[in-house]
Structure 1
Amino acid sequence: MKLIIHGGFFSESSTSQETKIAKQNALERIVKDSYHFLKTHSAVETVVYAVSLLEDDALFNAGIGSQIQADGKIRMSAAIMDGETQKFSGVINIEAVQNPVQVAQRLMQYDDRVLGGIGATNFARQNGFGPFSTEIPQRRKEYEAKLKSLGTGTVGCVAFDQNGKIAVATSTGGKGFEIPGRISDSATVAGNYANEFCGVSLTGVGEDIMSNATASKIVTRVTDGFSLEVAFAKTFNELKAYDGFAGAIAIDHKGNVHHLDSHPSMVFASFDGDNFEVFN
């Protein structure tokens, strides 16, 4: 069993050492808690569990840490993918729910598995997800002062369960001050993709990630026989043509874990029951 999570990027210029350490500690707690959950649950159930914990921590740009858009509202996106069944489900620009990834999980049961905007929010209400404000004072202050950091925060998880099944989930609160209606990569196969051979979750500039079809490229290359390291190297090299900004985490069907970012400032943690690793 293997588990890796990420907490998006942080800005060297605007992130204090205290906040950096707090994020590392939070990632350690969440990855170990989620690994314990993985012992008795499937990969799909575990990635939803882990990302829900990240959404519930205001340190990260998802759920209650989400950024505020140009019109003063918070809209979030999240997706999950089951590597075994190849089912992908997601919500785009959903409003006023606590855990977008859990709404995405509920959509797995339907034929129409990706919903956006008011349709996603209405679906959540109809399925027992009550109104919940994810706005915190810190984000309101940032919005009012028009303070921007990197604007590339996202959270994600890839799990490899006891049966060798892979699943991935990704959630984001946006980049902040974006045009309402902007689509992030997190609820697309460019930012969140898995099959029986590999699962990948991305963070970074959504437009760059979608232009490169990053997650699906990595998974396809692993499926075609490339190692994780080579698949990452080839795919990230293709981002260089337009100075693409991205970071990714992955686990393959052999249990290999890998991560890479184009501008080293991604926060992540991995755990396999014995070995814990946290970076940045």
Structure 2
Amino acid sequence: MSQTYALILHGGAGVLADHDYSAEREHMRHLAERAEGRLAAGDHAMDIVCDVIADLEASGLYVAGKGASPNRAGRYELDAAIMHGPSRKAGSIAALTGFISPIGVARAVMQDTPHVMLAGHGACEFAALKEFQRVDSVNDYYTPAAAPDDREIPTGTVGCVALDTHGELVAGTSTGGTLNKMEGRVGDCPIIGAGTWADDQVAVSCTGQGEFFLRTATARDLAARMAYGGMALDEATDAALGAVGGLGGEGGIIAVDRAGNVAHPFNSPGMKRAVVQAGKPVIVAVN
């Protein structure tokens, strides 16, 4: 078992200049420090990534899970994805309504079905069959988190990528989607290769204006730049985000490679994030 491990979590690209993010900072630090202890103890990245994202969803501090906002039809349609690098196994859900933890349902799709993605009514039926916790009252449960709302496509997402001491890379992402989105809109988050990707070289989670990340298949693009172009992690991450920016999109990427290197660039007005690397202090930042 290796002594090398690394993890990055994000609470979404884009920050408000006049908003106090002390609660988010404290929450991300708590999650990062707890995750670091588990990584050092030899826990598996799959369990840690899913647990971190479930906590981000449940906090109500980010535009995912409890902190999501309704779409134009007044419905809370949530998306999530998880991917295990060594096996390329993946699970995702899109337009899930009425359940507490989208990432948990996505993992169940990966583990308990022959499919990769379930959407809409089918995703809800599956979550009910697996007895995931339901939202008792939409009006009482959701507490839409603060998010930049002066852009054409306001954003909000949570995610986590990790390398564990077993050498396994895992990536996961969860979102309530862009604010005031059309009913049925699905962004990059649950699309394997766009907003979420993991293989035996790198794990990637994206956040930002999903339409642009979809158009560039950003997460897989980053991995391909490393696999076929021989780029280092920093170079590949910057180039992949540059492709998004070249189309006029903004957001951020978190990524970790098999050597424990990390990257977390963004071209948006800030990105909430926390970084864990073996032997280094935890880093928490929003800009």
- Output the TM-score relative to the length of structure 1: 0.92
Question: How far off is 1:128 after superposition?
Answer: 1.0
Aligned-residue Cα RMSD (Å) equals 1.9
Which of 161, 165, 169 matches 2:168?
165
Q: 1:275 aligns with which of 263, 273, 281?
A: 281
Give the secondary structure class of the aligned counterpart of 2:264. Answer: strand
Contact 1:64 1:134 (C-alpha < 8 Å) held by counterparts = no
Following superposition, the deviation at residue 32 of structure 1 comes to 1.2
SS in 1 for 2:160: strand
CA–CA distance in 2 between the matches of 1:164 and 1:134?
40
In the alignment, structure 1 residue 248 sits paired with structure 2 residue 253: yes
Change in Cα spacing, 1:12 to 1:78, as seen in structure 2 (3 Å) is: same
Specify the code of the residue in structure 1 equivalent to 2:227.
Answer: T
Residue 219 of structure 1: aligned partner: 223
> Which of 7, 11, 33 is matched with 1:7 structurally?
11
- For the residue of structure 2 that corresponds to 1:271, the secondary structure is strand
- 1:235 CA drift (Å): 1.6
- Runs of at least 5 residues in structure 1 that lack an aligned partner in the other structure: none
CA distance in 2, matches of 1:137, 1:237: 34
Name the CA shift for 1:134/1:271 in 2 (closer, same or farther; >3 Å). farther
DSSP 3-state at the match of 1:108:
helix
Q: Deviations over 1:96-140 (max 9, x none)?
A: 111100011111121122100010011000001132146556439
Structure-2 change in CA distance of 1:137 and 1:121 (3 Å): closer
> C-alpha distance in 1, partners of 2:26/2:216?
32
1:246, CA displacement in angstroms? 1.8
Contact persistence 1:62–1:155 (CA under 8 A): yes
Partner of 1:259: 264
State the shift of 1:24 in Å: 1.1
Runs of 4 or more consecutive aligned structure 1 residues displaced over 4 Å after TM superposition? 133-138
* Equivalences for residues 58-207 of structure 1 within 5 A: 58-109=60-111, 110-132=113-135, 133=137, 136=141, 138-139=143-144, 148=149, 151-188=154-191, 189-207=193-211
Residue identity (%): 30
1:67 CA drift (Å): 1.3
- Classify the secondary structure of the residue corresponding to 2:283: strand
**1:27 — aligned with what?**
28
Equivalent-residue separation in structure 1 for 2:268 and 2:14 (angstroms): 11
Q: Secondary structure at the match of 1:181?
A: coil
Task: Give the aligned residue type for 1:161.
Answer: D
Q: Which amino acid aligns with 1:244?
A: G
Task: Give, in angstroms, the shift of residue 271 of structure 1.
Answer: 1.4
Helix, strand or coil at the partner of 2:265: strand
The equivalent residue for 1:231 is 236
Instruction: Give, in whole Å, the separation in 2 of the partners of 1:52 and 1:130.
Output: 12
Q: In the aligned structure 2, how far is the partner of 1:266 from the partner of 1:124?
A: 31
Classify 1:149/1:122 alpha carbon distance in 2 versus 1 (closer, same or farther; 3 Å): farther
Mapped partners of 1:104, 1:35: distance in 2 = 24
Q: Please say if residues 202 and 215 of structure 1, whose CA atoms lie closer than 8 Å, have aligned partners that are also in contact.
A: yes
How far apart in 2 are the matches of 1:249 and 1:227? 14
